[in-house]
Amino acid sequence: MKKKFSMEKYSRILILLLFIIVLTIIRPKSFPTVNNISNVLWSISVVGILVSGSIFVMLLGGIDLSVGSLMGLSAVVTVLTIRNNNYSNKGVILGIALALLVGIAAGALHGFFVITFHVPAFLVTFATQSIFLGISMVLTNNKILSCLEPKLFTNIGLGRIGPFTFPIYFMIIIALFSFFVLNKTVLGRHIYAVGGNQEASRISGISVKKITMISYIISSLTAAVGGIVLASMTQQGMASTGVGYDTEVITAAVIGGVSLAGGSGTIQGAIIGAMFVGLLKNGMNLMNVPSTNQGLVKGLVIICAVALDIMQKKEKVGGNV
């Protein structure tokens, strides 16, 4: 039994390593380089930041479909504030603070509707997805707002220490924070308990409402952080900045073994899922796979990941009978 558990625990790491080996063999001159690996990590850093917060909601059995549009809103708020303060460092600090407050407010709004009216999370966040996008369009007049200075802002997404850019370090720090909370704190244990069986958790004295509210705030807060980082990486703010990132997050989480039913999954698995998606895209680009076909490949990978997750759960149930 212990060997079976060990294989299940490390299966995704082994698959990731195998995939890296395959890409190295196929493209020995272009793939296994420090520059390329750094680019892959840079490209997945925002997804890694997002999934480090979204996993809290997913572990409860919910889903946050608004992270992409909330990213766009936080990016717009940051850039607009900087521009309105003459591109000053003060404007950067104020813009970041406002964007983070927007994230906290959005999370509290989601939590309020889920807790008070018992509206399914996907419906609440599906609605706010359109609302946040609409607000961003109004604020920008549906235009691209460039922001090439000051350096305090541009360094957030483009600055580097050694071979790696700051967003990679931000991803690592936030992922480590999520790991600590989920594995070393009472809050983390309660999140897994509520996701596994909400009614039993309530009977045992766990404040389900409190856990739910905190989880949605964390998810939206990391979305705001992702928007700030992405705005700096692209040096601009626009309403559609985060479009498509919600599916990227779900893809990374599912491939990483996070159950959409709740109660099961790890942040390290989700980050591995994000790395797998990034390497898959990088490998397809290196092999000159047309962009029109890349979505098809990604979709097939998601289906296989979900099928594998269902098969593993059936094996567990069968083994426990």
Q: Residue 321 pLDDT > 60, yes or no?
A: no
pLDDT digit string, tens, across residues 53-105: 999 999 999 999 999 999 999 999 999 999 999 999 999 999 999 999 999 99
Q: Residue 195 pLDDT > 90, yes or no?
A: yes
pLDDT digit string, tens, across residues 100-112: 999 999 999 999 9
User: What CA–CA distance (Å, rounded) separates 127 from 14?
Assistant: 39
pLDDT digit string, tens, across residues 45-60: 999 999 999 999 999 9
Q: Residue 176 pLDDT > 50, yes or no?
A: yes
Task: Retrieve residue 292's tokens.
Answer: 């029109």
Quick one: how far is CA 122 from the chain centroid? 16
Element (H, E) at 142: none
Q: Residue 153 pLDDT > 80, yes or no?
A: yes
The total of other beta-carbon atoms located within 10 Å of residue 42's CB is 20
pLDDT digit string, tens, across residues 222-258: 999 999 999 999 999 999 999 989 988 998 998 888 9
| pTM assigned to the model | 0.92
**Buried-exposed string 58-94: b where 16+ CB fall within 10 A, e elsewhere:** bbbbbbbbbbbbbbbbbbbbbbbbbeeeeeeeebbeb
pLDDT digit string, tens, across residues 260-303: 888 889 999 999 999 988 888 888 888 888 878 887 887 787 77
CB-based contacts of 165, cutoff 8 Å, min separation 6: 38, 42, 45, 157, 158, 159
Q: Residue 175 pLDDT > 70, yes or no?
A: yes
Question: What is the overall mean pLDDT for the chain?
Answer: 90
Q: What pLDDT, on the 0 to 100 scale, is given for residue 315?
A: 67
Instruction: Give residue limits of the domains in the chain.
Output: 40-242
User: What CA–CA distance (Å, rounded) separates 206 from 118?
Assistant: 18
CATH architecture of 40-242: Orthogonal Bundle (1.10)
Q: Per mean pLDDT, which range of 22-31, 77-86, 114-123, 199-208 is the poorest?
A: 22-31
